[in-house]
Amino acid sequence: MPEIDYRLARTVAVISFANPPVNGLSQAVRAGISAALRRAQADPSAQAIVLTGAGGLFSAGADIREFGTPASMADPTLRDLIHLVETSAKPVIAAIAGTCLGGGLELALAAHYRVASADAKLGLPEVKLGLLPGAGGTQRLPRLVGVERAINMIVSGEPVPATDLASTALLDLLVDGDPLARAVELAASSAVATKPPPMTRDIPLDDPNLTTLCQAIRARLETQRPLLPAPMRAVDAIEAAGRPFDEGLSLERRAFLELMETPESKGLRHAFFAERATAKVDGITPSTPVRPLHQAAVIGAGTMGAGIAVALLDAGMPLWLVEADQDALDRGLTRIAGIFDGQVKKGKLTAGERDRRLALLRPTLSYEAAGHADVVIEAVFESLTVKREVFTALDRVMKPGAILATNTSTLDVNTIADFTRRPSDVLGLHFFSPANVMRLLEVVRGRATTPEVLATALALGKALRKVAVVSGVCDGFIGNRMLEAYTRQAWYLVEEGATPQQIDQAMEAFGMAMGPFRVGDLVGHDVSLAIRQRRRAERPGYLCSTLPDKLCQLGRLGQKTGAGWYDYPEGPRRPIASAVVEELITSHRAEIGVAPRRIEDSEITDRLVYALLNEGARILEDGIAARSSDIDVVYLAGYGFPRPRGGPMFYADQVGLDRVLRRVREFARNPHGDPAFWTPAPLLKRLAEAGERFDQTGDSPSTSTK
Ligand code: 3HC
Ligand code: NAI
């Protein structure tokens, strides 16, 4: 429950508000602060007022959970509260520690003076939620920090350290440690008492470059894909700060309310809560013990092992790197040094930081040496025989209580756990390539994995700054299992008449970071060929286009061979349509007896996205993912799904599951391809017929359209 504390410190009323964990400005908090401000006005002992947040932070802004509910508009609104602060007859001083974001900063901007601790961070991150600052931020910030800096802060949404703002009118005092005592001192001083409280709204904004700066940023935003409405509207609002204050404020308000209803904002707000919901895992409570992880080991220094090692070293974790032979170890070390050197070259890391990281690395050929590690991550060849060898050795050498993780992409984590006498300490940690860059980490919970081991793995994910999503054991886990359906469907589209370029362009216009054929060329076609060969051997009647097999037969394995679905004469970033592939496709169609037809882009995007979500529905029903929003996070953090669309499952909810089901049934009537492919997932069918949504957790009330 929020708490508002009112006390007198000599002649100063100190109003402190608490609403853990981030002092969100919910209706109850707003009402409490308003009442306390009125009390201070009426209190003859109070000459000035200090406003501060409890718990070491000011406020992370409006309570996002209220968005879309009556509480967000209920009196007093944030704008009412801010008006009360700015027009207070007694001076109001904001004491800012820790986080001061969004509506929290807007509240502070309306105070008459601001005192911040040196380690405070201030920002207006609303664009990240598809919004713009809606309580005067676009009007007051430029008046206090100048137009250029305000544009940068508002359009990027990135918080700024208080120390960077020390020379601006935003901060009257910067202090080390808790700012409250100095704020009270300032409030009681004659300097404050002797003049009428200065209002930010009265500061003239007469920057002659206002329009030019706004035009320049608009031109830059227009080149960005996807073109998002929020940053553009924010620039319009900042430009309106050159007009009379109330006009600018009304324009900002209108834009805020309109943006709140955009699909982009709903998607981004869903993504925000979905990422946080991943930490809520069945069987794990705040009292679940977490094992301390001081030292790690990585087995295998290939593509993945090297990337995982870099991720661990970036987090300051000392580690043993174990390889099968000296040559492979040397290659791994060169790979790791290469990654760090690249970062130094790009200015992302200093030479000193690189050297400190490399000093934490202990290369070895001995499993025994790694036995002291608290966690070991295996990244050797994708072969059950090799994994058996490695896990048998690990079981022998690792100290009791060590966590044993496999980075397998397709093998059964339960089988791997059973190679040891301690399956409860085994789980999957499925990183994505490049492992030090990609944010996603699938944490694969085995049959025997204990909550303690799982909680420790999630804590490791956090330490590595990954978005960790728990998955059950199945072939491909959440992400690759869905990707297989998506890619199979993309090949059928080519057989029917689309080109790889058309499909990639359609998916990129939808917002995917890369279309499926460019992704295939990047990952390498030998990986998916091995999977198809295994499927054909294991699943009688398995149907899949043979077109990608023919591509492999031509030696076109993707970027690593300089050619795949595309040619790459100018390097990996410039795929060029290939005459060889065009010919291959034409002869393949003739061979399977398909006369190509014209395929609309809308059919391409619907078929590919619905292939994803139909498999997602099965994953949800099988209990592989705990909630639909976890699947969304996997696709946002690991597969380049456009964040403003919220993820495939949220997208389906927005389209309406009844419409999705109708379209799936339409696709099922297409005689081409695998007749079983478009069988609607039973969960999709059930929810669509009941008029429900995938997202039933109530995690995202703020995006509810009801
Ligand atoms: N409202 C409601 N809940 C919030 C919140 C907010 N503004 N910000 C964070 N939370 C919740 C999270 O959902 C999470 O809840 P959970 O524990 O139930 O999952 C909890 O607070 C802790 O959040 P994090 O896990 O993100 O904690 P971190 O310490 O990693 O980060 C933070 C803290 C930097 C404050 C980060 O949460 C953040 O960036 N929050 C969003 C801030 C924001 O966007 N503010 C603008 C709001 S819009 C606005 O103010 C409109 C105004 O202009 C009118
Ligand atoms: P890789 O072939 O690049 O590297 C494997 C390394 O393991 C080699 O350096 C090899 O010498 C070493 N190795 C083999 N046997 C060993 C042993 N007994 N002891 C110590 N080292 C040994 O393979 P890659 O791509 O790094 O894949 C590793 C694992 O990660 C596989 O299980 C793969 O499925 C999985 N994975 C791969 C991804 C990718 O994009 N490459 C993505 C996610 C998971």
Q: Is 428 helix (H, G, I), strand (E, B) or coil?
A: strand
Closest CA to 366 of 396, 414, 323, 428: 323
Ligand number, closest to the Cα atom of 394: 2
Burial-class residue 261 by CB neighbours within 10 Å (0-12, 13-18, 19+).
Answer: exposed
Ligand 1 nearest-atom number relative to CA 135: 54
**What is the per-residue pLDDT for 607?**
98
pLDDT category at 698 given cuts 50, 70, 90 is: low
Residue 702 has pLDDT above 70, yes or no: no
- The DSSP bridge partners found for residue 12 are 9, 48
Q: Which residue CA neighbors atom 31 of ligand 1 most closely?
A: 22
Average of per-residue pLDDT across 107-130: 98
Average of per-residue pLDDT across 612-619: 98
Please report the domains of the chain, with CATH numbers, ordered by start residue: 3-260 (3.90.226.10), 296-471 (3.40.50.720), 479-547+597-690 (1.10.1040.50)
- Would you call 106 a catalytic residue per the annotation? yes
CA-CA-CA-CA dihedral for 560, 562, 564, 565, to nearest 10: 130
pLDDT tens figures, 11-33: 999 999 999 999 999 999 999 99
Average of per-residue pLDDT across 552-575: 93
Distance CA 132, CA 154 (A): 8
User: Chain-wide mean pLDDT for the chain?
Assistant: 95
Strands 319-322 vs 361-364: parallel, antiparallel or unpaired: parallel
Helices 479-496/500-510 angle, 10° precision: 130
Residue 701 has pLDDT above 90, yes or no: no
**What is the per-residue pLDDT for 570?**
87
Q: 182-210 as b/e, with b when 16 or more CB fall inside 10 Å?
A: bbbbbbbeeebeeeebebbbeeebebeeb
CB 495 within 8 A of CB 303: no
pLDDT tens figures, 468-502: 999 999 999 999 999 999 999 999 999 999 999 99
Distances (CA, A) of 562 to 178, 526, 576: 58, 14, 11
φ and ψ of 671, to 5 deg: -70, -15
Ligand 2 nearest-atom number relative to CA 304: 26
pLDDT tens figures, 571-599: 888 999 999 999 999 999 999 999 999 99
CB 410 within 8 A of CB 475: yes
pLDDT tens figures, 52-101: 999 999 999 999 999 989 998 899 999 999 999 999 999 999 999 999 99
Ligand 2 neighbours (beta carbon < 6 A): 299-305, 322-324, 328, 379-382, 386, 389-390, 407-409, 431-433
Q: Is the CB of 230 under 6 A from ligand 1?
A: no
pTM comes to 0.94
Q: Which region among 152-156, 205-209, 343-347 has the lowest average model confidence (pLDDT)?
A: 205-209
Q: Is the CB of 159 under 6 A from ligand 1?
A: no
Q: How far is the CA of 293 from the centre of ligand 1 (A)?
A: 28
Residue 699 has pLDDT above 60, yes or no: no
Of the CA atoms within 13 Å of residue 404, those in its CB half-sphere come to 31
**What is the per-residue pLDDT for 406?**
98
Q: Which residue CA neighbors atom 3 of ligand 2 most closely?
A: 302
Q: How far is the CA of 344 from the centre of ligand 2 (A)?
A: 26
Return the structure tokens found at 221.
């935003």
φ and ψ of 669, to 5 deg: -80, -10
- Would you call 126 a catalytic residue per the annotation? yes
**Catalytic one of 126, 442, 495, 496:** 126
Q: What does the DSSP assignment read for 396-414?
A: HHSPTT-EEEE--SSS-HH
pLDDT category at 697 given cuts 50, 70, 90 is: low
Give the amino acid at 70: P
pLDDT category at 161 given cuts 50, 70, 90 is: very high
pLDDT tens figures, 303-354: 999 999 999 999 999 999 999 999 999 999 999 999 999 999 999 999 999 9
Ligand 1 nearest-atom number relative to CA 121: 34
Q: How far is the CA of 306 from the centre of ligand 2 (A)?
A: 9
Q: How far is the CA of 586 from the centre of ligand 1 (A)?
A: 53
Distances (CA, A) of 357 to 315, 317, 322: 9, 9, 17
CB 416 within 8 A of CB 439: no
**What is the per-residue pLDDT for 706?**
29
Q: How far is the CA of 338 from the centre of ligand 2 (A)?
A: 18
CA-CA-CA-CA dihedral for 693, 695, 697, 698, to nearest 10: -80
Residue 225 has pLDDT above 80, yes or no: no
